[in-house]
Structure 1
């Protein structure tokens, strides 16, 4: 039997000859191999397949699904993916599907989150660029102009630090978000190529999170992805220094999703032993160097941000599987002691409801737009409140210094500086 490597029975029938249906050469080679088999080899392969068919029945298949359904509801459990084995012998071969979301993982209260920003003194807002509303049918998920303006608007208050994390190149991020001037000395921070490169402000130089040891696996991954790009309309490949992505965001959703799990499995097998990690995202699949870890990046940036004082507000919005270790880091006691005040407010979120270690989720990109607008409105309020408080403080200081001047305990130049 010659069987597509993407067919469900392929995992169970050990005697079949497998081929990639997207590859004409692969199909020809499989047919040639099948016709070249010796009678003994044909019989051996037939018996392997026959053994599985005779021992497995439709009743067993249905029982397996009913068993999964029975175990799918357990309120005490945390989020998990349940692996379903096609074969008891092939325990390493699993298909993962969502069975349950843990308790406590709830929809973000946008009003509460934005109001907390208003009451805070040192804030960090970290956003994965793929979570932002983007221009429809844009090839590279370009954020909409209004969202970019809103993000820049958050910089009017020095107490806000905005960090944009993306899988795009540094040139692309600066082209979308970069400006040659700052807002009251406040600037955006960037992380490009999923964290391989970072920049703590426009005036700072780009830095590497780690040195890449070997990226010879990228051409190998590209070759595998190209077979799928040629067969999925709207899909394309993005290649960078530390990673390569298969982007199917603009492809037919059902068609793209149908093959993405097969592409994942094929990449996982082909890149085994190459020190790589494969990331699932919203409309993309990325293979990257495993030394480039987002949690290390976030820890580094928070360390830079809290050199003088700790944070009392954090909003983190992630979107793909590489954010899960970040959620765990931000909720850890270690991070709490290093980066946050005891009374800090932390809103650790993921986009869409899915199994996650995040505390909250936002339903869609429209919810992201809403909360950014709330942030901007409250930032303007906060700046006004702070300006009035600072004016009152300065006025009181002038009065005190004037009294001291009359008593001869202070120089007139001090009053002049305060008046300025």
Structure 2
């Protein structure tokens, strides 16, 4: 299928894209990112990209972005000219190349990434064009000055060890954070972003970013395309919050990841750590609904996906059919005849635990002397991906331990440990898998590790062959610290640091009954063969589609600078309340209802002195003096404070404690929500709250006349939230037969009488005006938090009940751009006061005219 982005990718390769690019970009405008300034998408433009159809119907491209392209590059000599040329072919061992197997057949896949080979700058344009034409690959060429600091510096020396739980306690123990390396990391991510922007059509394309090398890339793409459908998958572990919080740029990375729509991890543990970091450092709480985990972030729901990747079954079976491999199997069977082979296949890496595996093998042979001369550990060491003193030290330890063990326990013709440190092809590795009794993985920390999967498939044999149809057997000893461990329920799980336990697990793996080995193998093969790389890719992409289904139905704003940039997604009808609109309606109205929250609406939340200023008192008095107006302050605060603060406003109505106490004028008595209400429930609720307060440092109890509130904003975020959930259940159980409601809010748990809401206050005001034949034909209701949403809902209900005139003079307004049941917003308390002042001026001029 021809891409909707470009009729032919050759046009892009030849540089013939500007004429086609600009019309597409006009459909999807860029957003300014000046601090404090919101650049709103034009209504007509917003409608032009909206769609009620599922994205899979219109989209036909996926852009896969990874640190390296799934290509192999070699230098070849042109037979005719003798000139050195670059020759490229697909790297079939790359996980990214197999992503396409899980996508719809008609979907086009474009790859963006760097090359493993170093391309001379004079050749880069020609190579780029050739890769785009032949492979649909877009290479990102990083300058050497950036490449070394980005990859070998920030990625490998800092992020990689830290994400594997190793902190740089000293200068020689891993790399410490270096601002210059971080800047190189950011610069490299910008280069990748530029390459994506060159080929992207934001209307139809999906972007799938991979791994820790590109964690800030989502921010750079989101700055350009607010509604871009974008996923990110982390292939390494994500550390616990106690480790991650040591990163000086911790919030920058988290916020960048939250600019993606779906963030994926191999295991629940990794996802749980990410969610814990979002909670502790950004104050975000996740929700689980119908099996899906989501984080609410400025009106957007960021999905969290948990799905271990798999292997490519077709590739593995192709390897097994390889005639070269078949002869290698016979060679190995002869070489290890009469031996029980335990196999390890690991990168030369500090986290693979090969040194611990060697020691466990020694312990097993010493504990079970009968295995001497029979059990052999064959350890294949893949070339190291990183470099440094730590890798060299681990390699030296492995070699010295192996030599010592072979000298102590070996005999002529028998070496307990065989190290293979030369590069092996997948066919050669498959031969070792085939002849091994057990595969041993003792990594101390690993993102996924597909070695056990490959081993199980090779032990099964080629589908349809006589060997595969007969019962097969295999055994796995797997570290509990690797990502594949949870999915291999039949494996013997070990703590690799416990060498004795690992030794016993290895002995069990080779001494267990054949029937048990067959049962475990059958269970593992069923899982591995059905949860392959295509299943993983398909599952992730389907969740990405589901997460992004409402992208074009929301209005979006891009706000913030640098890594503080984020997109605010709001209802299409949500708009800013302008003076022109409201003042015109105000002048025409005869019966006005004005309902104002206090904290966060006319009083800034950050203010220490909570008393209203003289300016606010003056404005409210001007509004109250207009006989057409019914003005109320509706607050959660106590009636004593509100009555004292607004004593100069004699005609102001006040609803205190969310409406439990209410009075219409300053000289009237307070009305209560329910006469002769019993508060015996407080004697039941307060001891429960006191119990949690004593065990939760930083928490406190606020006692109101009608309610009890437990505050935990000063407590440890995670512990406070956990205690709040526990308290909520505890209070609901204790107060099940009492006429109260138990509600959770932002860092609070509140117990109050049933039916006490700001919505009930609004209802009483509207109905009272209706009974007095002063049906409200103008309503202004302003609030900033969750409790004010009840008033916004009641306004809609009153319109349906015909208690309020159904016209365009109803203004439910929230403070700040955030998801709300209100149709309007003002940015802050300053704008609220300015608007009220303008309305007060109008009332003053009406009095003068009369």
For this structure pair, what is the TM-score category when the shorter chain's length is used for normalisation? 0.5 to 0.7
Structure 1, unpaired ranges of 5+: 14-48, 80-97, 388-420
Which of 290, 294, 314 pairs up with 2:758?
294
Structure 1 residues 261 and 118, CA, compared in 2 at 3 Å: closer, same or farther? farther
Alignment of 1:211-360 (within 5 A): 211-212=677-678, 214-215=681-682, 216-225=684-693, 228=696, 230-231=697-698, 237-246=701-710, 261-262=721-722, 264-273=724-733, 274=735, 275-280=740-745, 286-307=750-771, 308-332=773-797, 334-343=798-807, 345-360=809-824
- Contact kept in structure 1, 2:799 and 2:805, CA below 8 Å: no
Give the whole-Å Cα distance in 1 for the aligned partners of 2:585 and 2:668.
30
Name the SS for the 1:163 alignment partner: strand
Give the whole-Å Cα distance in 1 for the aligned partners of 2:701 and 2:634.
20
1:363-399 Cα deviation digits (max 9, x unpaired): 21122122111111111122223x1xxxxxxxxxxxx
Give the whole-Å Cα distance in 1 for the aligned partners of 2:730 and 2:749.
15
Give the whole-Å Cα distance in 2 for the aligned partners of 1:168 and 1:343.
32
Give the aligned partner of residue 188 of structure 1: 652
Give the whole-Å Cα distance in 2 for the aligned partners of 1:50 and 1:290.
50
Give the aligned partner of residue 375 of structure 2: none
1:180-231 Cα deviation digits (max 9, x unpaired): x74xxxx111111111111111122111113356333244235435655x43
Give the aligned partner of residue 201 of structure 1: 665
Give the whole-Å Cα distance in 2 for the aligned partners of 1:377 and 1:326.
26
Give the whole-Å Cα distance in 1 for the aligned partners of 2:823 and 2:678.
33
Structure 1 residues 117 and 287, CA, compared in 2 at 3 Å: closer, same or farther? same
Structure 1 residues 101 and 297, CA, compared in 2 at 3 Å: closer, same or farther? same
Structure 1 residues 75 and 136, CA, compared in 2 at 3 Å: closer, same or farther? closer
TM-score between the two structures when normalised by the length of structure 2: 0.33
Give the whole-Å Cα distance in 2 for the aligned partners of 1:376 and 1:268.
44
The Cα shift of 1:126 comes to 0.1
The Cα shift of 1:77 comes to 6.0
Structure 1 residues 290 and 261, CA, compared in 2 at 3 Å: closer, same or farther? farther
Give the whole-Å Cα distance in 2 for the aligned partners of 1:160 and 1:140.
29
Structure 1 residues 138 and 381, CA, compared in 2 at 3 Å: closer, same or farther? same
- Contact kept in structure 2, 1:115 and 1:378, CA below 8 Å: no
- Contact kept in structure 2, 1:12 and 1:52, CA below 8 Å: no
- Contact kept in structure 2, 1:118 and 1:381, CA below 8 Å: no
Does 1:123 find its partner at 2:592?
yes
- Contact kept in structure 1, 2:626 and 2:843, CA below 8 Å: yes
Name the SS for the 1:130 alignment partner: coil
The Cα shift of 1:303 comes to 1.7
The Cα shift of 1:116 comes to 1.7
Name the SS for the 1:129 alignment partner: coil
Give the whole-Å Cα distance in 1 for the aligned partners of 2:601 and 2:609.
12
The Cα shift of 1:305 comes to 2.6
Cα RMSD for the two superposed structures: 4.2
Which of 42, 47, 54 pairs up with 2:486?
54
The Cα shift of 1:128 comes to 1.0
Give the whole-Å Cα distance in 2 for the aligned partners of 1:12 and 1:321.
27
Give the whole-Å Cα distance in 2 for the aligned partners of 1:284 and 1:111.
38
Structure 1 residues 357 and 261, CA, compared in 2 at 3 Å: closer, same or farther? farther
Does 1:112 find its partner at 2:581?
yes
The Cα shift of 1:75 comes to 4.9
The Cα shift of 1:247 comes to 5.6
Give the whole-Å Cα distance in 1 for the aligned partners of 2:482 and 2:751.
37
1:103-151 Cα deviation digits (max 9, x unpaired): 2122222331133212211111101112334378655743333222211
Give the aligned partner of residue 543 of structure 2: 67
How many residues align structurally?
Answer: 313
Structure 2, unpaired ranges of 5+: 1-239, 242-267, 274-480, 489-530, 556-566
- Contact kept in structure 2, 1:222 and 1:244, CA below 8 Å: no
Give the aligned partner of residue 157 of structure 1: 626
- Contact kept in structure 1, 2:590 and 2:777, CA below 8 Å: yes
Higher relative contact order (CA 8 A, sep 6+): 1
Structure 1 residues 69 and 128, CA, compared in 2 at 3 Å: closer, same or farther? farther
Give the whole-Å Cα distance in 2 for the aligned partners of 1:342 and 1:369.
26
Give the whole-Å Cα distance in 2 for the aligned partners of 1:311 and 1:128.
19
The Cα shift of 1:177 comes to 0.6
1:73-94 Cα deviation digits (max 9, x unpaired): 5157689xxxxxxxxxxxxxxx
Give the whole-Å Cα distance in 2 for the aligned partners of 1:375 and 1:342.
21
TM-score between the two structures when normalised by the length of structure 1: 0.62
Give the whole-Å Cα distance in 2 for the aligned partners of 1:52 and 1:191.
58
Give the whole-Å Cα distance in 2 for the aligned partners of 1:178 and 1:285.
31
Give the whole-Å Cα distance in 2 for the aligned partners of 1:135 and 1:101.
23
Give the whole-Å Cα distance in 2 for the aligned partners of 1:290 and 1:64.
44
Range 139-148 or range 154-163, more displaced:
139-148
Name the SS for the 1:245 alignment partner: strand
